């Protein structure tokens, strides 16, 4: 079968950086030239410039046993020292590290000196609880400052953290604790979400209970933050209150240096087999690329910028662009506990106005949700401090890109649309805002020092103007070092397909336009085969959202006797349209619209008007569940959804 993915949509608008922005930019075209001249020397230079090494490295890359890479492996450093102490020692202790905003409206601003002291105290508590080099610690917390402090304290003592998103069930938490063999869990009595306190400690208790014969319990202690005033069951000898232990601990703690390849964290991502994959990242290479990409992609000026990435620390974006990248660079940032619409739909814009946020990084699904509500909400707030916008999580369609730029960015802010994964550890493809003429909907170009290509099934380059499979052709510093406890699965999952070429296969489809810029077409699993044509769900979704009535759309391929697969669309209509139009008429209009926009081959067989789409808490649409509905099957596992009731409602609407 051909791996060529048919290209249907054309987008020709370009937005070069303003002269003023380019003149102040931290990046320049010379970055690409230096990286192209000697890739390894370029990464060595970045690492030495951005990080403090206790023992300087002399080896950059060891690729002698692919696909297992080692970066800077004879060097030693402490990750937490790089994110905290050195900024205090450089005289920046009074700079705000975190502006924290709780959902109910409580807030704290924490300086680098204060955060450093807190992390030292937590590190001492961890050591008192028996946590040392190589031990695993599960972190199950809401978006509160203690979450960031916990990650850094674990890193400080050379242990390995496994952050589990606070919305995951007890079963999901248990699977991750058991797979990692965690010795300690850090949690809270609860966290605020949508106006109420969501309990967390009971899920931990459940995850640690009911052990059968022969099942070993590795967790020795549970450290509990008091956040939500929830009553908790208490197990004497095991459970420890944060507010008792941490303030009483010493604020003196020497950061010990560890080898560059010392494991830093395990982060679990869904596996196609149902068993989560523990993605393993190490220290020196990961921190180098997290800091490098954060500095150049977001054009960071740490003395003046206020940066806000809306991701939860339970996801890789929260690791790399809330905790490690920004703090390594000495940035001032905002973190927010709640949901975008609590306690009112303008909450995010209110926070941007309050803290004068200048760099804002969020997901396309959030942007499209705001489009559904309408521009009148953000227009009530002063967003003039914004100078750069970012997008992450899935391909952003041109319509949402333009709305984001015009409504949130006042028609002038550059937008960086970033492609990367849990496995890549840091951003791989993005515009550099002071250099690149941006294109709505295109991730554009690999960062300097990163090697990306689009190939067919045999690994042959498809060339400009064609689509195929996205591959990474050279090792990169923040790459995963394996799947925890399962090196064979690591090789099979990511390297087997193009074993002869030595390429990492990301699982995504992409195309190169005539300029050689990259356009993501979504997961290859989401490519449909309609009458012999391989069509990208992303392009059809983009066409649907280009219709003035549509706020958001998800497209799946469903089995069809005639065409092999048929296009089935689930569409959310803007609130301003719903009252004035008949849903059945709108559905037919949208079918015809797609046919006009990109051809009859892409016209949906069915268009279902729905009130919501099934999304994970990180904002990703779970298309496999929609495929179940489209094909009339029983809906699969919904435990990772932000709202598990959504699928019942969609199923009822479709019937």
Alpha-carbon distance values, 641 to 69, 143, 611, 615, 653 (Å): 34, 18, 15, 5, 18
Q: Which has more confidence, 379 or 541?
A: 379
Looking at 372-516, which runs of residues are DSSP E strands?
Answer: 388-391, 415-417, 452-455, 467-472, 482-483, 504-512
- Does position 599 have pLDDT exceeding 80, yes or no? no
CA distance 622 to 535: 18
- Does position 578 have pLDDT exceeding 50, yes or no? yes
- Does position 456 have pLDDT exceeding 80, yes or no? yes
pLDDT per position as a tens digit, 197-209:
889 999 999 999 9
Range 524-535 average pLDDT: 70
Range 561-577 average pLDDT: 85
Burial 320-356 (b: 16+ CB within 10 A, else e): bbbbbbbbbbbbbbbbbbbbbbbeebbbbbbbbbebb
- Does position 32 have pLDDT exceeding 70, yes or no? yes
- Does position 271 have pLDDT exceeding 70, yes or no? no
User: Under DSSP, is residue 586 helix (H, G, I), strand (E, B) or coil?
Assistant: helix
Q: Give the pLDDT score at 38.
A: 98
Q: Which residue, 605, 607, 621, is CA-closest to 565?
A: 605
pLDDT per position as a tens digit, 281-314:
999 999 999 999 999 999 999 999 999 999 999 9
Q: Give the pLDDT score at 450.
A: 98
Range 481-491 average pLDDT: 96
The lowest-confidence range among 332-336, 363-367, 499-503, 524-528 is 524-528
| Residue 261: HSE in the Cβ half-sphere, 13 Å Cα cutoff | 14
CA 337-338-340 angle, 5° bins: 130
- Does position 115 have pLDDT exceeding 70, yes or no? yes
Q: Which residue, 158, 186, 156, 35, is CA-closest to 84?
A: 156
Q: Which two tokens stand for residue 359?
A: 């760099």
Q: Give the pLDDT score at 573.
A: 92
pLDDT band with cut points at 50, 70 and 90 for residue 212? low
User: Under DSSP, is residue 527 helix (H, G, I), strand (E, B) or coil?
Assistant: strand
Range 337-356 average pLDDT: 94
Range 314-342 average pLDDT: 95
Q: Give the pLDDT score at 272.
A: 46
Strand 504-512 to strand 518-523: parallel, antiparallel, or no bridges (unpaired)?
antiparallel
Range 164-173 average pLDDT: 85
Q: Which two tokens stand for residue 605?
A: 């067989």
- Does position 6 have pLDDT exceeding 60, yes or no? no
Alpha-helical (H) ranges within 163-283 are 170-180, 201-207, 242-248
Asked if 594 and 544 count as a contact pair (C-beta separation under 8 A), the reply is yes
Q: Give the pLDDT score at 239.
A: 97
pLDDT band with cut points at 50, 70 and 90 for residue 583? confident
Residues 6+ apart with CB under 8 A from 186: 137, 138, 139, 140, 141, 146, 150, 222, 223, 225, 242
Q: Which residue, 177, 327, 205, is CA-closest to 266?
A: 177
- Does position 388 have pLDDT exceeding 60, yes or no? yes
Asked if 97 and 327 count as a contact pair (C-beta separation under 8 A), the reply is yes
Range 238-245 average pLDDT: 98
Q: Give the pLDDT score at 532.
A: 62
445 preceded by a cis bond (ω within 30 of 0): no
- Does position 55 have pLDDT exceeding 70, yes or no? yes
Q: Give the pLDDT score at 1.
A: 36
Range 80-109 average pLDDT: 97
Range 120-146 average pLDDT: 98
Q: What is the pTM of this model?
A: 0.86
CA distance 561 to 563: 6
Q: Calculate the average pLDDT of the chain.
A: 92
Burial 375-403 (b: 16+ CB within 10 A, else e): eebbeebebeebbbbbbbbbbbbbbbbbb
The structure tokens 């060891």 sit at 62
Percent of the chain exceeding pLDDT 90 equals 72
Q: Which has more confidence, 494 or 602?
A: 494
Percent of the chain exceeding pLDDT 70 equals 95
- Say which DSSP state 437 is in: -
Cα 351 vs. chain centroid, distance in angstroms? 21
Q: Hey, which of 5-14, 469-478, 558-567 has the most confident mean pLDDT? A: 469-478
pLDDT band with cut points at 50, 70 and 90 for residue 2? very low
CA 194-314-399 angle, 5° bins: 70
Q: How many CB atoms lie within 10 A of CB 235?
A: 12
CA distance 643 to 625: 13
User: Under DSSP, is residue 332 helix (H, G, I), strand (E, B) or coil?
Assistant: strand
Burial 147-166 (b: 16+ CB within 10 A, else e): bbbbbbbbbbbbbbbbbbbb
Domain 531-654 homologous superfamily, CATH: ANL, C-terminal domain (3.30.300.30)
Alpha-carbon distance values, 16 to 254, 405, 423, 433, 436 (Å): 47, 13, 31, 9, 6
Q: How many CB atoms lie within 10 A of CB 26?
A: 14
The structure tokens 């003196």 sit at 252
The structure tokens 């006797």 sit at 561
Asked if 76 and 259 count as a contact pair (C-beta separation under 8 A), the reply is yes
Cα 458 vs. chain centroid, distance in angstroms? 30
pLDDT per position as a tens digit, 395-434:
888 889 999 999 999 999 999 999 999 999 999 999 999 9
Residues 6+ apart with CB under 8 A from 258: 76, 77, 78, 133, 158, 283
pLDDT band with cut points at 50, 70 and 90 for residue 617? low
Alpha-carbon distance values, 566 to 365, 482, 530 (Å): 24, 37, 6
Residues 6+ apart with CB under 8 A from 54: 76, 77, 78, 257
């Amino acid at each position: 079968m051909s791996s060529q993915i048919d290209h249907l949509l054309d987008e020709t608008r370009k937005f070069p950086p303003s002269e003023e922005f380019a003149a102040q930019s931290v990046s320049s075209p010379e970055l690409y030239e230096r990286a192209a001249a000697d890739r390894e020397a370029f990464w060595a230079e970045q690492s030495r410039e951005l990080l403090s090494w206790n023992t300087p490295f002399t080896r950059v890359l060891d690729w002698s046993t692919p696909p297992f890479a080692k970066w800077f492996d004879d060097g030693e450093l402490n990750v937490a020292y790089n994110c905290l102490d050195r900024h205090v020692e450089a005289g920046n202790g009074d700079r705000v590290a975190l502006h924290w905003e709780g959902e109910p409206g409580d807030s704290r601003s924490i300086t680098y000196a204060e955060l450093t002291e807190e992390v030292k105290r937590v590190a001492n508590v961890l050591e008192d609880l028996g946590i040392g080099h190589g031990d695993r610690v599960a972190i199950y917390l809401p978006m509160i400052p203690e979450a960031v402090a916990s990650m850094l304290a674990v890193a400080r003592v050379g242990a390995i953290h496994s952050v589990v998103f606070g919305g995951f069930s007890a079963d999901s938490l248990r699977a991750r604790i058991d797979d990692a063999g965690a010795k300690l869990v850090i949690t809270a009595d609860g966290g605020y979400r949508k106006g109420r306190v969501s309990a967390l400690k009971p899920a931990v208790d459940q995850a640690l209970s009911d052990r059968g014969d022969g099942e070993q319990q590795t967790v020795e202690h549970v450290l509990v933050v008091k956040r939500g005033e929830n009553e908790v069951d208490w197990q004497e000898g095991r459970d420890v209150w944060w507010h008792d232990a941490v303030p009483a601990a010493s604020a003196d703690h020497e950061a010990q240096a560890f080898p560059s390849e010392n494991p830093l964290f395990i982060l679990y991502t869904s596996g196609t087999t149902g068993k989560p994959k523990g993605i393993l990242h190490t220290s020196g290479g990961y921190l180098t690329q997290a800091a490098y990409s954060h500095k150049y992609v977001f054009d960071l000026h740490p003395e003046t910028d206020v940066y806000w990435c809306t991701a939860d620390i339970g996801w890789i974006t929260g690791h790399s662009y809330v905790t490690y990248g920004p703090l390594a660079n000495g940035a001032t940032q905002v973190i927010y506990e709640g949901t975008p619409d609590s306690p009112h739909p303008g909450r995010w814009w209110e926070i941007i106005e309050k803290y004068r946020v200048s760099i804002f990084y969020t997901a396309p699904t959030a942007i499209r949700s705001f489009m559904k509500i309408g521009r009148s909400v953000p227009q009530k707030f002063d967003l003039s401090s914004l100078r750069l916008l970012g997008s992450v999580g899935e391909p952003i369609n041109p319509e949402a890109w333009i709305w984001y730029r015009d409504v949130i960015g006042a028609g002038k802010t550059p937008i960086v649309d970033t492609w990367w994964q849990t496995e890549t550890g840091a951003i791989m493809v993005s515009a550099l805002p002071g250099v690149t003429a941006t294109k709505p909907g295109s991730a554009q170009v690999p960062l300097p020092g990163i090697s990306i290509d689009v190939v067919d099934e045999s690994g042959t380059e498809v060339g400009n103007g064609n689509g195929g499979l996205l591959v990474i052709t050279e090792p990169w510093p923040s790459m995963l070092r394996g799947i925890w406890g399962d090196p064979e699965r690591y090789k099979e999952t990511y390297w087997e397909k193009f074993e002869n070429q030595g390429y990492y296969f990301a699982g995504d489809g992409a195309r190169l336009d005539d300029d050689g810029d990259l356009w993501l077409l979504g997961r290859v699993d989401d490519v449909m085969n309609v009458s012999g044509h391989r069509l990208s769900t992303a392009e059809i979704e983009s066409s649907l959202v280009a219709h003035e009535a549509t706020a958001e759309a998800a497209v799946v391929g469903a089995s069809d006797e005639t065409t092999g697969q048929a296009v089935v669309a689930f569409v959310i209509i803007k609130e301003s349209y719903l009252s004035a139009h008949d849903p059945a008429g709108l559905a037919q209009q949208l079918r015809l619209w797609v046919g006009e926009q990109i051809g009859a081959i892409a016209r949906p067989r069915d268009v279902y008007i729905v009130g919501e789409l099934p999304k994970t808490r990180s904002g990703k649409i779970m298309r496999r569940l929609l495929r179940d509905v489209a094909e009339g099957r029983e809906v699969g596992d919904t435990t990772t959804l932000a709202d598990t009731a959504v699928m019942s409602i969609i199923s009822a609407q479709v019937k």
